[in-house]
């Protein structure tokens, strides 16, 4: 396996750089790609420099998630929850992710290929550029640990990588508190995931839910309305649930760290396919009451400073 990581980060001067929540004008695919894959890094503090050096050495960082990282400094998780449900920026100068700190980014295209009753980029024939991030809760990156996988995505309503647009963001998770899963490529993720059970994390989980409710009354459900609104000028109709599932035929490997799993799978498959399923009847990620409407094709994967410490996915709310 090619174990070398794509070393990335940059702070670039562009008109869409985040300052306040009223300044968001959108981003081009290439602007966001530059943030997660630039080879000319520049950081502003010693802490950021130490973090960057881990990537530069070709290592995989393991950022902790605990009471101290969530609530021990400002902004804390509650402030982050308010920000991410009110601000739409696609990246920041520096943005540690509190709940899913360890991840790997993928880039490619979203395509809807099957007829359905929904609007926006759920409609058949919709095709756009895509940037996503696969992650885990806490620091549980290895297959012998209870991992809670997340898959967040940005759908750009264009095939022009230089066109500035406002992408639609979505969030899917398999089991919030994690379960023992040998491979990410064997899981399925939805926008209303199972909670799961982890007695050791119960107290912290209750504090997390309370903090998240400062940004959204129902933090366990992430509506996919932004996808249904994307490039839509007429009636908007959105499904209740969406499921993202790696194609079953993809070549799999036995890497212990899920990030190495994705990097090796990308090398061996050349591209990764993720099925897009929707449902009005069930949120059961393992059930069969789902309609496949298309797929995400990932053509490149990378572990980077920009992916973990700058990229942002605005959280949609039910009232958005």
Q: 164-179, pLDDT tens digit by residue?
A: 999 999 999 999 888 9
Looking at residue 218, its pLDDT comes to: 74
Looking at residue 209, its pLDDT comes to: 72
Residue 127, pLDDT > 80, answer: yes
Q: Which of 4-13, 133-142, 289-298, 306-315 has the lowest mean pLDDT?
A: 4-13
Residue 22, pLDDT > 60, answer: no
Residue 275, pLDDT > 80, answer: yes
Looking at residue 167, its pLDDT comes to: 98
CA distance 206 to 197: 12
What backbone phi and psi angles, to 5 degrees, belong to 45?
-135, 165
Mean pLDDT, the chain, whole residue set:
87
Percentage of residues in the chain having pLDDT higher than 70: 88
What backbone phi and psi angles, to 5 degrees, belong to 195?
-80, -40
Residue 9, pLDDT > 60, answer: no
Local confidence band at 115 (pLDDT 50, 70, 90 cut-offs): very high
Region 255-273: mean pLDDT is: 98
Region 39-49: mean pLDDT is: 82
Q: Output 215 or 76, whichever has higher pLDDT.
A: 76
CA distance 161 to 28: 6
Q: Output 118 or 234, whichever has higher pLDDT.
A: 118
Q: How many CB atoms lie within 10 A of CB 80?
A: 21
Region 66-87: mean pLDDT is: 81
Looking at residue 8, its pLDDT comes to: 33
What backbone phi and psi angles, to 5 degrees, belong to 114?
-115, 140
Look up the pTM and report it: 0.89
Looking at residue 223, its pLDDT comes to: 93
Looking at residue 206, its pLDDT comes to: 75
Local confidence band at 28 (pLDDT 50, 70, 90 cut-offs): very high
Local confidence band at 40 (pLDDT 50, 70, 90 cut-offs): low
CA distance 318 to 90: 20
Region 250-267: mean pLDDT is: 98
Region 65-85: mean pLDDT is: 81
Q: How many residues does the chain have?
A: 320
Top CATH class of 29-309 equals mainly beta
Which element (helix H / strand E) includes 69? helix 67-71
Local confidence band at 199 (pLDDT 50, 70, 90 cut-offs): low
Residue 4, pLDDT > 50, answer: no
Looking at residue 226, its pLDDT comes to: 96
């Amino acid at each position: 396996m090619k174990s070398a990581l794509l070393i990335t980060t940059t702070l670039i001067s562009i008109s869409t750089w985040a300052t306040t929540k009223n300044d968001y004008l959108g981003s081009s695919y290439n602007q966001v790609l530059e943030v997660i894959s630039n080879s000319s890094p520049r950081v502003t503090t010693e802490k950021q420099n130490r973090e960057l050096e881990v990537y530069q050495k070709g290592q995989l960082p393991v950022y902790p998630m605990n009471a101290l990282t969530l609530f021990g400094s400002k902004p804390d998780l509650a402030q982050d929850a308010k920000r991410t449900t009110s601000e739409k920026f696609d990246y920041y100068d520096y943005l540690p992710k509190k709940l899913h700190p360890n991840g790997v980014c993928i880039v490619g295209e979203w395509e809807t290929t099957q007829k359905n009753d929904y609007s926006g980029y759920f409609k058949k024939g919709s095709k756009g550029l895509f940037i996503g991030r696969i992650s885990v809760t806490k620091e549980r990156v290895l297959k012998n640990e209870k991992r809670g996988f997340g898959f967040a995505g940005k759908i750009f309503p264009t095939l022009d990588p230089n066109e500035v647009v406002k992408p639609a963001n979505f969030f899917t998770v398999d089991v919030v508190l994690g379960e023992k899963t040998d491979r990410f490529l064997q899981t399925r993720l939805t926008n209303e995931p199972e909670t799961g059970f982890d007695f050791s994390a119960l107290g912290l989980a209750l504090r997390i839910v309370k903090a998240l409710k400062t940004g959204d009354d129902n933090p366990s459900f992430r509506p996919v309305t932004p996808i249904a609104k994307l490039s839509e000028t007429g009636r908007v109709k959105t499904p209740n649930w969406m499921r993202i599932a790696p194609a079953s035929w993809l070549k799999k490997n036995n890497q212990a760290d899920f990030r190495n799993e994705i990097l090796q799978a990308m090398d061996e498959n050349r591209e990764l396919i993720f099925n897009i399923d929707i449902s009005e009847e069930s949120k059961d990620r393992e059930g069969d009451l789902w309609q496949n409407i298309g797929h995400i094709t990932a053509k490149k994967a990378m572990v980077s400073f920009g992916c973990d410490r700058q990229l942002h996915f605005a959280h949609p709310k039910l009232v958005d």
